[in-house]
A and B are shown apart, each in its own frame.
Chain A
Amino acid sequence: MSEVRIAVYVCHCGTNIADKVDVAGVREFARRLPGVEVARDYQYMCADPGQELLRSDIRERGINRVVVASCSPRMHEATFRQVLESAGLNGYLFEMANIREHCSWVTEESELATHKARALVAAAVKRVRFHAPLEERYVEVNQKALVVGGGIAGIEAALKIARAGKKVWLVERGPSIGGKMAGLDKTFPTLDCSACILTPKMVEAAQHPKITLLSYSEVEGVDGYVGNFQVTVRRKARYVREEDCTGCGTCYQKCPKKVPSEFDGGLSHRKAIYVPFPQAVPNVPVIDRSNCIRFQTGRCGACEKFCPRDAVDFEQEDEFLTLEVGAVIVATGYETFQPQEAPQWGWGRYENVLTARQLERLVNASGPTGGKVLLRRDGEFTDEVPKSVAVLHCIGSRDENYYPYCSRLCCMASLKLAHLIREKTGAQVYSFYIDIRSAGKGYEEFYTRVQAEGIQFIRGKGAEVLERDGQLYVHAEDTLLGAYREVPVDMVVLSTAVTPAPGAERVAQIFGIQRGQDGFFLESHPKLEPLKTATEGIYIVGCCQGPKDIPDSVAQGAGGAAEVLSLLTAGRVQISPVVAEIDAEACSGCKVCVPLCPYSAIKYDEERGACGVNEALCKGCGTCVASCPSGALSCRHFTDEQIYAQIEEVSSL
């Protein structure tokens, strides 16, 4: 090995580090460490002039190892590696000491922070001495993509990718695509009809030659890695052959079994064989097995008898497909807070207390009342119109007993519903709110307009809804009036919180996505990588990442498509050289490592009597290295020599 000449750079990170850590002191300390040729401190190492310092030292002072003491390697390791490469030095002859997240941000006393920074720098200097140059490798990227979830975000993503000429699989759990948007009546703030703007996109997605729609299907497992995923999809039995069905509807007209309609929030009935709503795509019914008389008792079979195309097939079974794709977009959406968990607001107790999503169905022309807002009595709609309606914001949101976060879209949705109720019934409408959050283009203007329409705004969260002598009362503290109020109304609408979709935990597991504290999927950087996840090649768009309105969901869908297209168009993807390797001579073939590998990257080779690592699958986690009884396994860039050097040094100070 030629002589080691190390350069150390201590970054101020503005005041982030320099306010707590004595950066000049750390620099002077580093200067005296063995092998260090150059030690400097600088305001922003990641900025252009900082990078230039590094380059010129490498070129002019014969530097062949670099240590930067700054932020987390997650933030800038890749940046500095590129700087080394641009100066003609291998990027792996570099080590980062994290003196921001690990020192200045988390240590109260300046003295202690500086001491720790010195220890980390010394450890990095000792370690980098043992670094070896490593070569990046590339693998081909499969040119097909998978989109999971057929709501507006998923549809938008699939269309954008398909229009670029790439093949897309669109997998949807339910019988139809369209998602939550399909159940809305009008959309804020422009009040255009939700179905009118959504349906054409649904149809295009279904008919696009580059898109294969797999509705009533779920992803069961994912193997492989960025550029080369193998995805197992379960096509649930519909009991109706898609290729034979014309969508004539005879089957559900003849079906004798009524079931509360999920799509209408239980306010109407569907049949046991059904399409969830008239504009469903595909327009092919499914049989809901648990409610079907034929499946439960063996009798009936009316749908089969009357189907003019013999498309009903009770014998159908779930099928499994394996898709090979280069990239995946997860757009699995959200659910709303189920207010039966919180009886104080009266939902489930009083029949004229509805959720906002139920009210969307009432005001919708294709809903259970043909678009009329009507009161219910004894489980049936009357023809009586409410004279007063309360809309309660923040039900379950901004509430430490349920969900602490703001659900973001409900203020505007509540304003829209208040407007629609007022317009359709002339009722006195009360809006109970904590604050009105109307940040968005044209949103504040819409709020002003609704105020002018005579809606009564009461600043105070609706605390509870109680019935007294047949009259509903909303109880609230009016914080502008400074008084407790009980407002009598005929109908109450609850704007319930946006929550993670049921099954989000499983989806996260299957795709290797992390979840935040609130249960929504976690992006890899909250500002700069909003669509990427911890797993390369898997992207998240729409409400699965957090509450969003339609414009934001559509924008994310398109953004996700751009991520996928840049990956696919590049055609090949860099694979980290930090992987495990096996010394076949030393391997005894005990196979302890094989089942331990979480990525199935190790295979036993009968002929050689030793194990081998598939470098494309290996993530360099080191599990196998730690398990190997004969010491045949090692991990590049995390060799024993390197790690021990680091530990020794950090613990000696």
Chain B
Amino acid sequence: MTMRRYWYYPGCSGHASARDYQRSVALISPALGLDLVEVEDWNCCGTTAMTSVEPRLSVVLSARNLALAEEAGGRADLVVTCNSCYAILRRAQEQYARRREVRAEVDEALAGIGRRYSGTVRVRHLLEVLVRDVGLDALRERVRRPLSGLRLAPYYGCLLGRPRNDFEDPEEPLSMDRLLEATGATVVRFDRKSKCCGGALITTHEEAALELVREVLSEAAAREARAVVTACPMCQFNLDAYQAKVNAAFGTRLRLPVLYFSQVLGLSLGFGASELGLGQRFVPVGGVGKL
């Protein structure tokens, strides 16, 4: 199998709360012909916190990561697995390309730390790489253990198609639907697939965020999904870690495992539940992992 090489940006959560996500990605990538090489010395993308207080500095933080990938040479695709990193890095990519004043400011800041960026890096979500570069047919061919009969709710969160990009529709994203279908699973209709999970509000305004988490989980339960599948560490965390709190606050009896698409894909490719990190859940995956 020819290997395709990409630069990889795991993001802060990839090294912390979403280590299982990163582990599953590291496991399935070589099996699908992807050689993901982590960018050395990367820093925070400048996510929510920085964006809301110092929007320009957040672009500079992102741009440093882009500059690192560019300096490293080779294929100029930077693969991201966190939706927030994806949105923030892409915004930096686009603002740098289109807005002269941003470009000037970023160039100056980078010069201060002895770096240069010329705008060649393309930020891509791993989902996009799987669906477009690897392709659904190739994925289907590699499925060893079809997940027949497993009902899954594809939950994209709000950031994958926002701001508008050439990858996903902001309201009706479909890449994960197609990918999960390729594993043989049954993808349920999911109207709240691109609604917000509450994001960082879970730490600052928990009441409001829990309401949003409940909305998403309740629909998945109503549609009789066995699990919710996400593409973002923040979504996964809010839906999984706060499920018990939602049940306590609203009197619901939700018990939905929340998986990463890479873990589901891994199961279908024949990897075991524990090597994919499926044990590291607040809501136990139970039978889903034993398929």
Contacts and interface: CB of A to CB of B under 8 A. Distances in A.
Interface of A: 342-344, 346, 349, 401, 466-468
Contacts of A346: 191
Contacts of B192: 466
A349 B191 contact: yes
B275 interface: no
Nearest to B164: A401
Interface string B187-217: 0000110000000000000000000000100
B191 A467 contact: yes
Closest A-B pairs by Cβ, 10 of them: A344-B171, A343-B172, A343-B171, A349-B191, A342-B171, A466-B191, A467-B191, A401-B164, A466-B192, A468-B215
A167 to B, nearest CB: 51
A468 B171 CA distance: 18
Contacts of B218: 468
Contacts, number: 15
Given A342-B171, A349-B191, A467-B191, 12 more contacts: A343-B171, A343-B172, A343-B191, A344-B171, A346-B191, A401-B164, A401-B170, A466-B191, A466-B192, A466-B215, A468-B215, A468-B218
Contacts of A344: 171
Contacts of B171: 342-344
Contacts of B172: 343
A468 B191 CA distance: 10
A342 B215 CA distance: 20
Contacts of B170: 401
A343 B191 CA distance: 8
Contacts of B164: 401
Q: Is the interface of B mostly helix, strand, loop or mixed?
A: loop
A349 B191 CA distance: 8
8 contacts: A343-B171, A343-B172, A349-B191, A401-B164, A401-B170, A466-B192, A466-B215, A468-B215
A466 B172 CA distance: 14
Most buried by A among B170, B171, B215: B171
A342 B170 CA distance: 9
Interface string B214-241: 0100100000000000000000000000
A401 B191 CA distance: 20
Nearest to B189: A349
Contacts of A343: 171-172, 191
A227 to B, nearest CB: 48
B20 to A, nearest CB: 31
A476 to B, nearest CB: 15
B143 to A, nearest CB: 29
A344 B172 CA distance: 8
Nearest to A467: B191
A367 B192 CA distance: 34
A344 B173 CA distance: 12
A343 B192 CA distance: 11
A468 B211 CA distance: 13
A346 B192 CA distance: 11
A467 B172 CA distance: 16
B152 to A, nearest CB: 19
Interface string B159-172: 00000100000111
A507 B164 CA distance: 31
Contacts of B191: 343, 346, 349, 466-467
A308 B191 CA distance: 52
A342 B191 CA distance: 12
Contacts of A467: 191
A60 B194 CA distance: 79
Contacts of A466: 191-192, 215
A349 B215 CA distance: 17
A347 to B, nearest CB: 12
Interface string B233-263: 0000000000000000000000000000000
A219 B99 CA distance: 47
A562 to B, nearest CB: 45
B208 to A, nearest CB: 10
A3 B218 CA distance: 92
Most buried by A among B170, B172, B215, B218: B172
Contacts of A468: 215, 218
A297 B170 CA distance: 42
A485 to B, nearest CB: 14
A343 B161 CA distance: 14
A46 to B, nearest CB: 41
Nearest to A400: B164
A306 to B, nearest CB: 43
A50 to B, nearest CB: 44
A342 B161 CA distance: 13
B155 to A, nearest CB: 15
A651 to B, nearest CB: 31
Nearest to A349: B191
Nearest to B214: A468
A343 B218 CA distance: 19
Nearest to A342: B171
A46 B171 CA distance: 54
B191 to A, nearest CB: 6
A627 to B, nearest CB: 41
A278 to B, nearest CB: 37
B36 to A, nearest CB: 33
A346 B164 CA distance: 20
Nearest to B195: A466
B201 to A, nearest CB: 14
B211 to A, nearest CB: 11
A540 B231 CA distance: 51
A346 B172 CA distance: 11
Contacts of A401: 164, 170
B188 to A, nearest CB: 13
A320 B90 CA distance: 54
B167 to A, nearest CB: 16
A343 B215 CA distance: 17
Nearest to A345: B171
A344 B164 CA distance: 15
A343 B172 CA distance: 7
A281 B175 CA distance: 47
Nearest to B171: A344
A343 B169 CA distance: 10
A349 B219 CA distance: 14
A466 B215 CA distance: 10
Interface in B84-101: none
B5 to A, nearest CB: 36
B70 to A, nearest CB: 32
Contacts of A349: 191
A344 B218 CA distance: 18
Interface string B137-151: 000000000000000
Interface in B114-132: none
A346 B189 CA distance: 13
B25 to A, nearest CB: 29
B225 to A, nearest CB: 16
A473 to B, nearest CB: 10
A417 B277 CA distance: 56
B18 to A, nearest CB: 28
A401 B161 CA distance: 12
A382 to B, nearest CB: 22
A349 B164 CA distance: 23
A243 B171 CA distance: 51
A342 B171 CA distance: 7
B268 to A, nearest CB: 28
A344 B170 CA distance: 10
A466 B192 CA distance: 8
